[in-house]
């Protein structure tokens, strides 16, 4: 409680002090670490033409565990020559793969999905070790949803002829794919599953900080007996990514990542005839009306911004709350944040894990500093952060204005900016006042208002009375600077075929 | 009623499911198990109850296990006719309270004057705590004042005794109703009184989700009035693991001040032996057969 309130209650003793809850250590939980073996190799090579091959340069770079800031494995640095080899393998495999009956292609996808399920715990631990996300999320979300994407698209493989009435879908050929570090395995599944189901072959580059599950996935590709060259995985940083995007063999490029890099890719692919889909940044508005179920809205706000440490392009990073309930929501939100458990991502009780990289941690800290400098009021819970590794406390900013940097820029961290509104039109105006348009949330008991908001909000995905729900059957993608093209559902499938 | 607010069923069930993923290990598990044992209202509510059965229950409540350092339970919970026998068994200065279901439990379908007379008789016989049922019929037909007036009358009849108000959540059906009934009750009961999910006599009893709705309501009422109301989930909590997850909900919703049997109880009978079984397992590393625990009526 702020000291000012203490003084106040002293001067007028009859006034009862504000009731507060105590979230202390009366019953502290002991560590509950997940103990499955992630079966890591000391050094990972490139996966080209169905084989693990050393990079031509002979160069490797370390991948770190964000929870300890210590290296856990060495990853091959693919040069443009390695990327070229991957494209050659993919091009060689393409005709036979495209001509394989859909039902046969589907079998490979089913096999991949089942193998992912078989090794789910191992993959979950590897994902948490390499990326820093809480084990409960990699266990309950990343790995099962990745498997679900392969199951879903396996089902499409033999039904493509019926997917687009009046048109015949044909694969593009070789697809170049570059994915981010926030959901390494899941983004891989979003990219690879529809591409190979429709008869394309792929060259995929994972983010340089999170390559491990992609390379473990390559083991599954081998185990499933997928024909060599259908799936190729090259690892490395920006130079490797540029080589993947700019290779002349790529008939289509699919990218998920930052808006800045997305713009570069759009420039470099312009005029090449390559098909392009981009899934970029976001600054989603999560809008809470006064008739909303408050506790569930608070839960949705927490899930919206603190899921995966806020490393989510569709994170509900701007909370718009109706003025009449702003104080009530804020009080509940502070209490809720107070009981979030921040720490060792491998602990089954951890709610918020480690920030993916030092670089990202510095970026978050910088923007939080800017928020304070611009006069916003900051709240952080009392939780202690681990002494080693890269961690950041869940942070709430109230008293925020539409012009503040923390409202305009994507932070990609556990930082929520809270704004208020009075009327529906003001909520819409504020929500749409952003360069992005990936997602939004609406909380209200009134069904008609949900429908109205869903047509007026300029966002690709709008959740009503929930947040951050994903399903392979549901298309996902953005408006404006959040990109174009859809992933998931029939709409996502359409981006991987030529319709003739 | 409008200002009470509403509940989203999908959302609250999602929240409740998260408690179920909490992993309670080693020392924290032992502490949680003992805390849960101290919160048990060890219950027998059967037509076939006898003074002998109640005496056995009381002995178990005072000393749940021969070897373990396990605290006594919060209370024994019996029908009014058994209060005298419980008092005789426990004596006047027992750490274990006597709770009695009164007000024509479980239906409550008798005249108010009869219900009040039953409450007064139970208190006179030595009940420390009265578990009443609300008039669900009045609530469902919108007679909120009548429902509240009846609760207020029972609270008055309780005198010094603690009152626990049973909402019978399965008959209210919706979370919105559970929240509304919680508020209506809390507004006419006293600091230290409880709200309680169910009688245990219908098909659906305490769940993590209806527990959550009521904990949220208790918190909101506390913020509004500063008055701390207790909570008692009852029926259906049979395993130690379940009980720990209910306690996690308390810890994360109402905080440390509610982690005491003055503010949180479990209405249960077979739960206690599973808590003991887990405690013995923590100490010896082996599970014991059910028959090694006294009063082991339930099968595992």
Q: What is the pLDDT of residues A436-487, one digit of tens each?
A: 999 999 999 999 999 999 999 999 999 999 999 999 999 999 999 999 999 9
Whether pLDDT at A293 is above 90? yes
Please confirm, yes or no, whether B120 is among the known catalytic residues: no
ipTM comes to 0.94
- Tell me the average pLDDT of chain A: 96
Output b/e per residue, A239-271; b: 16+ Cβ within 10 A. Answer: ebbbbbbbbebbbbbbbbbebebbebbeeebee
* Residue spans per domain, chain A: 43-280+482-499, 285-464
pLDDT category of residue B300 using cuts at 50, 70 and 90: very low
Query: Residue B141 sits in a domain of what CATH number?
Result: 3.20.20.70
Q: Please report the pLDDT score of residue B296 as a whole number.
A: 65
Q: Is residue B280 part of a domain?
A: yes
pLDDT digits (tens, 9 = 90+) for B199-250: 999 989 999 999 999 999 999 999 999 999 999 999 999 999 999 999 999 9
Query: Residue B25's domain spans which residues?
Result: 2-292
CA B150 to chain centroid, in Å, comes to: 20
Q: Please report the pLDDT score of residue A11 as a whole number.
A: 45
- The secondary structure of residue B195, as a DSSP letter, is E
CA A366 to chain centroid, in Å, comes to: 21
Whether pLDDT at B172 is above 50? yes
Q: Which of A127, A208, A313, A487 is catalytic?
A: A313
User: B66, exposed or middle or buried, with CB in 10 Å at 0-12, 13-18, 19+?
Assistant: exposed
Whether pLDDT at A73 is above 60? yes
For residues A156-184, give the mean pLDDT: 97
Q: Is residue B297 part of a domain?
A: no
Which of A16, A26, A30 is the closest to B26 by Cβ?
A: A30
In whole angstroms, give the CA distance from residue A174 to residue A250: 5
Residues of B in contact with A293 (CB under 8 A): 5-8, 11
- Tell me the average pLDDT of chain B: 96
The pair of three-digit structure tokens given for residue A478, joined into one six-digit string: 């953005």
| Closest chain B C-alpha to A192 CA, distance in angstroms | 30
pLDDT digits (tens, 9 = 90+) for A214-266: 999 999 999 999 999 999 999 999 999 999 999 999 999 999 999 999 999 99
Whether pLDDT at A6 is above 90? no
Q: Is residue B142 part of a domain?
A: yes
For residues A271-295, give the mean pLDDT: 97
Q: Is residue B131 part of a domain?
A: yes
Question: What percent of chain A shows pLDDT beyond 70?
Answer: 97
| Closest chain B C-alpha to A299 CA, distance in angstroms | 7
Neighbours of B69 (CB within 10 A): 9
Taking CB atoms and an 8 Å limit, are A140 and B21 in contact across chains? yes
Asked if A349 is an interface residue toward chain B (Cβ–Cβ < 8 A), one would say yes
Whether pLDDT at B299 is above 80? no
For residues A169-197, give the mean pLDDT: 98
As assigned by CATH, the class of the A285-464 domain is: alpha beta
In whole angstroms, give the CA distance from residue A166 to residue B220: 58
CA B16 to chain centroid, in Å, comes to: 18
Q: Please report the pLDDT score of residue B290 as a whole number.
A: 85
What is the third-level CATH fold of A43-280+482-499?
A: Aldehyde Dehydrogenase; Chain A, domain 1 (3.40.605)
In whole angstroms, give the CA distance from residue A486 to residue A492: 5
Q: List the alpha helices (DSSP H) in A248-325.
A: 259-269, 294-306
Q: Please report the pLDDT score of residue A5 as a whole number.
A: 41
Whether pLDDT at A10 is above 60? no
Which of A19, A291, A466 is the closest to B222 by Cβ?
A: A19
Q: Is residue B299 part of a domain?
A: no
| Closest chain A C-alpha to B93 CA, distance in angstroms | 28
In whole angstroms, give the CA distance from residue B67 to residue A86: 68
In whole angstroms, give the CA distance from residue A483 to residue A281: 8
For residues A344-352, give the mean pLDDT: 98
Asked if A290 is an interface residue toward chain B (Cβ–Cβ < 8 A), one would say no
Question: Total structural domains in chain B?
Answer: 1
Q: Please report the pLDDT score of residue A16 as a whole number.
A: 62
Which of B23, B26, B216 is the closest to A349 by Cβ?
A: B23
Q: Is residue B284 part of a domain?
A: yes
CB distance A77 to A238 below 8 Å: no
Taking CB atoms and an 8 Å limit, are A30 and B29 in contact across chains? yes
Question: What percent of chain B shows pLDDT beyond 70?
Answer: 98
Name the residue among B237, B286, B271, B251 with its Cα closest to residue A29: B251
Please confirm, yes or no, whether B232 is among the known catalytic residues: yes
Q: Is residue B275 part of a domain?
A: yes
Asked if A223 is an interface residue toward chain B (Cβ–Cβ < 8 A), one would say no
Name the residue among A478, A470, A382 with its Cα closest to residue A141: A470
Between A18 and A455, whose confidence is greater?
A455
CB distance B161 to B195 below 8 Å: no
Whether pLDDT at B298 is above 60? no
Residues of A in contact with B28 (CB under 8 A): 27-30
pLDDT category of residue B145 using cuts at 50, 70 and 90: very high
CB distance A259 to A231 below 8 Å: no
Name the residue among B157, B155, B159, B39 with its Cα closest to residue B97: B39
For residues A42-58, give the mean pLDDT: 98
Q: Please report the pLDDT score of residue B3 as a whole number.
A: 84
Q: Please report the pLDDT score of residue B295 as a whole number.
A: 79
Residues of A in contact with B182 (CB under 8 A): none
Place of tokens 């079998």: A107
Whether pLDDT at B169 is above 90? yes
Q: Please report the pLDDT score of residue A15 as a whole number.
A: 55
Asked if A382 is an interface residue toward chain B (Cβ–Cβ < 8 A), one would say no
Please confirm, yes or no, whether B31 is among the known catalytic residues: no
């Amino acid at each position: 409680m702020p000291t000012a309130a203490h003084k106040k209650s002293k001067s007028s003793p009859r006034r009862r002090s504000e009731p507060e809850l105590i979230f202390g250590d009366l019953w502290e939980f002991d560590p509950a670490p997940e103990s499955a073996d992630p079966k890591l190799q000391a050094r990972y090579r490139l996966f080209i033409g169905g084989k693990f091959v050393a990079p031509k340069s002979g160069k490797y770079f370390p991948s770190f565990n964000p929870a300890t800031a210590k290296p856990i494995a060495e990853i091959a640095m693919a040069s443009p020559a390695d990327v070229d080899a991957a494209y050659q393998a993919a091009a060689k495999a393409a005709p036979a793969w495209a001509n394989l009956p859909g039902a046969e292609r589907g079998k490979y996808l089913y096999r991949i999905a089942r193998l992912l399920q078989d090794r789910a715990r191992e993959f979950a631990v590897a994902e948490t070790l390499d990326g820093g996300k809480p084990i409960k999320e990699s266990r309950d979300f990343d790995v099962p949803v990745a498997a679900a994407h392969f199951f879903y698209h396996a089902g499409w493989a033999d039904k493509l002829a019926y997917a687009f009435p009046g048109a015949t879908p044909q694969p593009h050929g070789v697809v170049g794919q570059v994915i981010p570090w926030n959901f390494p395995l899941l983004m891989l599944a979003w990219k690879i599953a529809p591409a190979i189901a429709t008869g394309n072959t792929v060259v995929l580059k994972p983010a340089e900080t999170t390559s491990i599950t992609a390379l473990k996935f390559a083991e599954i590709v081998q185990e499933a007996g997928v024909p060599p060259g259908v799936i190729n995985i090259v690892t490395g940083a920006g130079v490797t990514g540029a080589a993947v995007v700019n290779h002349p063999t790529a008939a289509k490029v699919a990218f998920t990542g930052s808006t800045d890099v997305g713009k570069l890719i759009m420039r470099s692919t312009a005029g090449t005839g390559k098909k392009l889909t981009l899934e970029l940044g976001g600054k989603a508005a999560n809008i809470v009306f006064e008739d909303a179920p408050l506790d569930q809205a608070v839960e949705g706000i927490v899930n919206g911004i603190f899921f995966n440490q806020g490393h989510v392009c569709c994170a509900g990073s701007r909370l718009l709350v109706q003025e009449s309930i702003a104080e009530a929501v804020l009080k509940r939100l502070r209490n809720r944040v107070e009981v979030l458990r921040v720490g060792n991502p491998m602990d089954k009780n951890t709610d918020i894990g480690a920030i993916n990289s030092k670089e990202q941690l510095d970026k978050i800290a910088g923007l939080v500093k800017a928020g304070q400098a611009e006069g916003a009021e900051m709240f952080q819970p009392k939780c202690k952060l681990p002494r080693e590794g890269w961690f950041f406390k869940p942070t709430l900013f109230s008293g925020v204005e539409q012009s503040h940097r923390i409202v305009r820029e994507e932070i990609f961290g556990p930082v929520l900016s809270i704004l208020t509104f009075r009327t529906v039109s003001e909520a819409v105006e504020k929500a749409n006042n952003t360069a992005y348009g990936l997602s939004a949330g609406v909380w209200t008991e009134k069904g008609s208002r949900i429908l109205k908001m869903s047509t007026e909000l300029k966002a690709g995905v709008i959740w009503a009375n929930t947040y951050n729900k994903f399903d392979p059957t549901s298309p996902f993608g953005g408006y404006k600077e959040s990109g174009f093209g859809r992933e998931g559902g029939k709409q996502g499938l359409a981006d991987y075929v030529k319709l003739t | 009623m409008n200002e009470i607010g509403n509940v989203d069923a999908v959302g609250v069930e999602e929240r409740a499911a998260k408690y179920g993923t909490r992993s309670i290990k080693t020392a924290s598990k032992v502490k949680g198990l003992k805390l849960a044992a101290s919160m048990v209202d060890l219950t027998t509510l059967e037509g076939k109850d006898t003074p002998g059965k109640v005496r056995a229950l009381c002995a178990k409540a005072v000393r749940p296990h021969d070897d373990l350092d396990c605290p006594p339970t919060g209370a024994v919970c019996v029908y009014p006719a058994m209060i005298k026998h419980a008092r005789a068994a426990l004596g006047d200065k027992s750490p274990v309270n006597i709770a009695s279901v009164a007000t024509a439990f479980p239906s409550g379908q008798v005249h108010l004057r009869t219900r009040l007379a039953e409450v007064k008789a139970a208190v006179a016989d030595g009940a420390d705590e009265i578990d009443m049922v609300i008039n669900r019929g009045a609530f469902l037909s919108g007679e909120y004042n009548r429902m509240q007036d009846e609760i207020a009358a029972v609270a008055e009849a309780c005198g010094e005794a603690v009152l626990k108000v049973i909402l019978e959540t399965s008959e209210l059906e919706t979370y919105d109703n559970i929240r509304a009934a919680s508020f209506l009750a809390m507004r006419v009961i006293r600091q230290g009184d409880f709200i309680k999910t169910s009688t245990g006599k219908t098909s659906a009893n305490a769940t993590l989700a209806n527990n959550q709705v009521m904990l949220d309501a208790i918190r909101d009422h506390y913020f509004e009035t500063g008055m701390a109301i207790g909570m008692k989930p009852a029926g259906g909590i049979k395993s130690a693991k379940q009980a720990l997850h209910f306690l996690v909900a308390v810890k994360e919703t109402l905080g440390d001040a509610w982690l005491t049997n003055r503010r949180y109880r479990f209405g249960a009978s077979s739960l206690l032996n599973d808590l003991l079984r887990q405690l013995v397992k923590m100490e010896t590393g082996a599970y014991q057969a059910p028959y090694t625990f006294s009063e082991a009526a339930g099968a595992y």
